[in-house]
Chain A
Amino acid sequence: MAIDEIVETPLAQQGKQVTPTKHHAWGSRLFLIIMCALFLIPVYWMLVTALKTPAELLKPKPSWFPTTFAWSNFSDAVNAFPFARFFLNSVLITALVALGTVLSNVIVAYGFACLEWRGRDKLFYVVIATMFLPFAITIIPLFDLFGWLHWINTWLPLVVPAFFGSGFSTFLLRQFLMQIPRDLLDSARADGANEWRILWQIVVPMARPALATVAIFAALAAWNDFLGPLIYLQDQKLQTLAIGLQYLRQTQPDKITVNLLMSASVMTIVPVILLFFGFQRFFVRGITMGSIK
């Protein structure tokens, strides 16, 4: 069965040497340049619009380039609505989700990768199956569940589930932990260390890159989440950037003009971009590890 391959195939046979081609591949280069230009248009227009004055936006023919750079749009956007609060809320929720994901999944992945027990692999098929389940089915029951717990209009529904493992992260971490030499664990066991200690003192330090990858992807998902805050948060004070921006855009158009919306969007994206440039190798690892060879 093909699932066997998915489970059993270790991490990508990496490390293939990159050999620069001798020919110049101008066709590929041209194609890539065109694609890059296309892909940059939205980003460019966001930046340009973010820097335009309202007067310039009202001109019947939009200019390719702002005539005056309205840098004040950024400070205006921060002042026009509780940007700082939304931002802080998003950061906190994101951080908690990342923390929960790493903590819970490393423990679970250890159970699936470093311990030998009967039924383990059968249970791991369930982990893989959950990666492909449409989450839509959960939104109505979970709202009721969190309602019974009086968790609506708090961050708990957004944060707590992260502390209970997730298919994708468990899968990713297990793939990594499988590569840790068994001898290392066994010799620690022989020295009398219990599994909990082995996990935190040997495995976690070794798995740092993988943990960073998992944390980054959990953080990205939390930062970009739209449906969750839309359903669970009503109080503006608790709102994240995603819903806060959308809500104010629709309801207070006097405060959120287009240029301010774009400058707010820029400020929403910048942290993600910084994260990307800071941890590019973890990104690439996560993306390629997520694919199954």
Chain B
Amino acid sequence: MAQVVGSRTRMTSRDWRNVRRGLLFVSPWIVGLLAFTVFPLVYSIVISFTRYSGFASPKWYGVQNYSRLFTDPLVGTSTMNTLWYTIFAVPIGLVIALLIALAMNRRVREVAVYRTILYLPSLIPAFAFSFIFVVLLNPGYGIVNKFIGLFGLPATDYLSDPVGIKGVIIGMAQFAAGNAALIFLAGLNTVPDTLYDAAKVDGANAITRFFRITLPLLSPVILFNAINAVNQALQIFTPGYILPSAPGGPNNGSLFYMLNLYENAFSYAQLGYASALAVILFIVGIALAFLIFRLSRRYVHYGVEV
């Protein structure tokens, strides 16, 4: 099988050659990493301590951009919007995907049909889906108000209410559940039937079996999805740009953190301030991923240990 890599202490010329060859092959990635990840990271941190409009050279501004973060009401609003979205959309999404996966795992004969239909909305680009929702929710030509009207309730424009629009965006995100469901389904497929059979013999009911066998064995997959979903939720942008009549509206109800960052950078030309926003988001994103990882360590099982 694998060749034994040379001694740990001394690099032979052959080792050097191997390293050079390996680096050569991964060099596109290294160049990309330096240009599109490391450079931006360093540049953002530097710029975040300056006043910079993009039209004149940056001026040192100390930590003023950071202190401004804490007094700017829009930072508070956009952070809250993003947190609301993350707190609701991510767990609900995981639960729905898990339920779908469990149902599909029962292997009803026409499962391929369900799988295709449920995956279909995940294929629709966020911008096109936002267009569809603008139409779906319109009190004039939408289906949602028509349905609500059947119960005699007055027509409402959910997109003109700052809470309503967040609800809409959280709801809209759930249509992508098919993607995670497929991942979970694949995970469920790896759970050996013998485990269930053994549990049945021991007299465990379905709920116990789910919590004692299925969930623990699926936990690494759920963890991976949770980290990804949180990462994406923190950077949500497109629905807040397209759904309201003006980006971020109404009354900043869909002004997500990324949208606020985008507007500061590209509409108000305050690149120093926007960079400070980006640095904070970066730190929070990494910290959250790490936190999920740490928290889950107690619960996540790798491999069969039952």
Smallest CB gap from A138: residue in B: B40
Majority secondary structure, A binding face? helix
> A113 to chain B: closest CB distance in Å?
10
Majority secondary structure, B binding face? helix
Give the residue among B41, B109, B117, B128 with the most A Cβ atoms within 10 A.
Answer: B128
Smallest CB gap from B265: residue in A: A140
Distance, CA A261 to CA B129, complexed state (A):
12
Smallest CB gap from B184: residue in A: A291
The residues of A that contact B132 with a CB separation of less than 8 Å are 42-43, 45-46, 262, 265
> B49 to chain A: closest CB distance in Å?
14
Distance, CA A291 to CA B180, complexed state (A):
9
Given the known interface contacts A107-B25, A164-B29, A195-B25, the answer about A32 and B100 at a Cβ–Cβ threshold of 8 Å is: yes
A44-61: CB near B (< 8 Å → 1, else 0) gives 011001000000011011
Given the known interface contacts A115-B25, A137-B40, the answer about A16 and B189 at a Cβ–Cβ threshold of 8 Å is: yes
Pick out which of these stretches binds chain A: B64-72, B73-81, B85-93, B227-235: B227-235
Interface size class of B (residues with CB under 8 A): 35 or more
Task: Assess whether A137 is in contact with B125, with CB atoms less than 8 Å apart.
Answer: no
Given the known interface contacts A134-B234, A164-B31, the answer about A123 and B26 at a Cβ–Cβ threshold of 8 Å is: yes
Pick out which of these stretches binds chain B: A73-81, A206-214, A242-250: A242-250
The residues of A that contact B135 with a CB separation of less than 8 Å are 45-46, 49, 258, 261-262
A224 within 8 A of B: yes
The residues of A that contact B289 with a CB separation of less than 8 Å are 132
A185-225: CB near B (< 8 Å → 1, else 0) gives 00000000001000000000000000000000000100110
The residues of B that contact A136 with a CB separation of less than 8 Å are 235, 258, 261, 278, 281-282, 285
Which residue from A130, A143, A272, A291 sits with its C-beta under 8 Å from B221? A291
B266 within 8 A of A: yes
A20 within 8 A of B: yes
**Number of A interface residues in the complex (CB < 8 A):** 103
Task: Assess whether B141 is in contact with A118, with CB atoms less than 8 Å apart.
Answer: no
A89-109: CB near B (< 8 Å → 1, else 0) gives 000000000000000110110
> A44 to chain B: closest CB distance in Å?
8
> A153 to chain B: closest CB distance in Å?
14
Which residue from A61, A161, A287 sits with its C-beta under 8 Å from B179? A287
Task: Assess whether B120 is in contact with A29, with CB atoms less than 8 Å apart.
Answer: no
Smallest CB gap from B224: residue in A: A292
Task: Assess whether A290 is in contact with B106, with CB atoms less than 8 Å apart.
Answer: no
Task: Assess whether B123 is in contact with A276, with CB atoms less than 8 Å apart.
Answer: yes
Given the known interface contacts A49-B135, A258-B141, the answer about A2 and B123 at a Cβ–Cβ threshold of 8 Å is: no
B37 within 8 A of A: yes
Not counting A16-B192, A35-B100, A126-B33, a sample of 6 additional A-B residue pairs whose C-beta atoms are within 8 angstroms of each other reads: A31-B99, A111-B22, A134-B281, A138-B41, A139-B261, A164-B29
